[in-house]
Amino acid sequence: MKFVWKAIILLLLSASVEAKSNDNRFCGLFGEVYQHSVRKRILSGIPFELMGALFGTGSEQGMLLGKKSVHITYNLWDELILVRSGEKILGRFSIDDGRKELCKFLEIGMGVPGVVSGKKYRFRLLLNPMWNERMARLQIATSVELENRRLVDINWKKIAEDMPSEKVLMEEELEL
Amino acid sequence: MFRLYLIFTSLLMAEAMVASAQESSAQVHEMESVHDILPSPYFIDGEHCIGTNQKELSESWLISKEEVEITNKIDAQEDCEDLLRAFGLEKYKWFNPEDLESASSKLKQSGFFEDVELFIKKSELKNHIHVFMRAKTKPRYVYSLQNELKFYENLNLAAVSDKSARLFNRISGEVIDRTYQPNSKEAWGFQLDTALASNRSLMVSGWESETLSFNNISEAYTNINKNYYIADFYFKHNRMMSRNLVLDFIGHLLLDNVQSSGPFVSASAYVDTDLVYSRYIRYIRGTFYGGVGLVFSSMRSTPSYAFLPGLKMGVHFGRDTGTFFRQDVSVFHSLFFPISFFQGKTEFQVDLGENINGSLIFKFRDVQSLVFPRDFAPSTDLDSNQSAFGFSKNFVKDKSRTQLDWRLGYEWLGYTPPQGVGESVFTSLGYKLISDDLNVNFSFGYYFQRVY
């Protein structure tokens, strides 16, 4: 009898681990990017934006399904990261905690309209994306660099789909 | 069994309590106003540029090694501060972190550097910082080559019973040195216009002549039909005054044989200074410019030379890619001579998808009171007004664009009497390559005899 109960408990635990595996995979991948690029960027002291963007695959290729963006400011004196989304403060933490904390704010999972379980999606982590909110906040216009890079095919639909940015820090196909 | 149930329920409750505590802490954060905990502004104690090029003096008998070192250091520092000022950052002033973010974005987007990043370091006092700009410069030179070939079956001037086919060619090249950009930029270039006519004799009011002479009514007609060249060599220097303001200096030397029959070559030289104000408003670029031009030229009617100072101004409004509407207008008026020059171009382009663009173009150009010899030759664009529509297909690669272009249009030439007015229907094919360090543009236009 004891053996049966142990087996049931193990099964329940493994199911819970399975459900969280995607989250952990994302945070694992983010951890590497954090160590290589994001941490250095934070320490530079210049505020910046990170955006997690989820795109469809197959027939929905390139379609932007959901996005989450955070604005990161680092104070050189108290050595704390301030994370905001628009006007909302999402958190304040040390540079070492940034690795696990930031991942929570950028992860896009179930609950996004059009996203179904078991399907593959393409996830991009964008550094300083060119989107309306950021451009309006900084009062910057898309200029030479963007036009030179894209050269001809600037059209609003494509911009929404491709979400041009300063750099794509991570691009992975994930199964949700 | 019951014990196990109790363990499970207590575990679940504990997890729920932790989750609720985390949630409430997040809510507390959200309730805080962003203004309560925004980082304080920074005071910039120093600015430093790494990786940019500066003009450097070298040691000579006039200046010692120590003086050279000090001067170069001061110049480099001034250039660095000028550059950062142009992007919104200034030494010994307070700035918000978002100002730094904005400057960083503008620098990145400027396209002046292959790669550029800003970073800050703490200074001695709290909230006092040093700003560093680390840049990787682009390839030093940009090369441009253009060739425009136009073939007229018959220029079909109304005032001349002329059956001469003509070939106009304009080849131009330019090398831009961007070693010191964005602080300054230099360019050397040339433009060579050549014209060939199949039949150089004319029947004008019963008077036939191949003679090329000055001060004669026949001069106009012979100039239309003769073979000629106009060469323009120029040097351009521009200096950035601020992010939106650039001072241009262009020196031209022109040579031509338009009004000469033999080896005689007439020469002109002129200097243009322009103050150019450019600004991007979202996706649209607006450029306003104005300046003074000083022309030293041989005159058409007499073999003498004259200084012709004049004023010019213009506006360029629009975008260069995708769907856009663009308007260019420029005007030149000489201060002491009755010379005016007026030209404009209106362009409407529609992005049809699949990298295909459709466009409508209207061009006009009007030169009043022809004075310079070169103004008296029907070059590729003198007094040419055009309406055209066309399509272009673009092939975009990572850092370059190739464009194939086709146009169909109608041209009417408004030459000053007695040359008359000419009309043609034309079609043209073009090839364009735009990349970071090479721009090539070739086009061929075929101008039919009047078909209507």
Top mean-pLDDT range of A151-160, B79-88, B299-308, B403-412: B403-412
Q: Which of A12, A89, A90 to mutate to test the interface with B (most CBs of B within 10 A)?
A: A89
What's the rounded mean pLDDT across residues B336-361?
A: 83
Q: Which of B65-79, B96-110, B361-375 has the lowest mean pLDDT?
A: B361-375
Q: Is A137 in CB contact (< 8 Å) with chain B?
A: yes
What is the model's pLDDT at position B349?
87
pLDDT in tens, B30-66: 444 545 566 788 999 999 999 887 777 777 777 788 8
The yes-or-no verdict on residue B140 having pLDDT over 90 is no
The yes-or-no verdict on residue B90 having pLDDT over 70 is yes
What is the model's pLDDT at position B170?
92
Residues of B within 8 A of A144 (CB-CB) are: 109-111
Specify the higher pLDDT residue, B102 or B285.
Answer: B102
Residues of B within 8 A of A166 (CB-CB) are: 105, 108
What's the rounded mean pLDDT across residues B167-195?
A: 89
Say what percent of chain A tops pLDDT 70.
68
Counted residue by residue, chain B has a size of 452
Averaged pLDDT score across all residues of chain A: 74
Q: Is A138 in CB contact (< 8 Å) with chain B?
A: yes
What's the rounded mean pLDDT across residues A153-176?
A: 62
Q: Which two tokens stand for residue A99?
A: 């690795």
- Looking at CA atoms only, how far is residue B280 from chain A in angstroms? 6
Q: Which of B28, B105, B128 to mutate to test the interface with A (most CBs of A within 10 A)?
A: B105
d(CA A114, CA A54): 11
Name the residue among B342, B286, B345 with its Cα closest to residue B316.
B286
Q: In sequence order, what are the residues at sequence separation of 6 or more whose Cβ sits closer than 8 angstroms to the Cβ of residue B410?
A: B386, B387, B388, B423, B424, B425, B426
Q: Which of A24-28, A89-93, B62-66, B384-388 has the lowest mean pLDDT?
A: A24-28
- Write out residues 48-77 of A within 8 Å (CB-CB) of B: 48, 73, 75-77
For residue B144, name the pLDDT band (cuts at 50, 70, 90): very high
For residue A17, name the pLDDT band (cuts at 50, 70, 90): very low
Q: What pTM does this model have?
A: 0.69
User: If you measure CA to CA, which chain A residue comes closest to B394?
Assistant: A152
What is the model's pLDDT at position B153?
80
Residues of A within 8 A of B351 (CB-CB) are: 152-155
What is the model's pLDDT at position B9?
54
Q: Is the dihedral of CA B110, B113, B117, B121 positive or negative?
A: negative
What is the model's pLDDT at position A151?
35
Eight-class DSSP state of B72: H
Closest in B121, B281, B322 to A155, CB measured: B322
Averaged pLDDT score across all residues of chain B: 76
Eight-class DSSP state of A134: H
Interface touch A75/B39, C-beta < 8 Å: yes
In 10 A of CB A41, how many CB atoms? 21
pLDDT in tens, A124-142: 888 888 777 777 777 765 4
What is the model's pLDDT at position B373?
60
What's the rounded mean pLDDT across residues B113-117?
A: 86
* CA dist B126 → A75, B90, B122 (Å): 11, 18, 8
What is the model's pLDDT at position B25?
46
Q: Which of A153, A157, A166, A168 to mutate to test the interface with B (most CBs of B within 10 A)?
A: A153
Q: Chains A and B: how many Cβ contacts under 8 Å?
A: 125
Interface touch A151/B117, C-beta < 8 Å: no
Q: Is A151 in CB contact (< 8 Å) with chain B?
A: yes
d(CA A50, CA B104): 15
What is the model's pLDDT at position B10?
57
d(CA A70, CA A74): 13
Q: What is the pairing mode between strands B128-137 and B42-50?
A: parallel
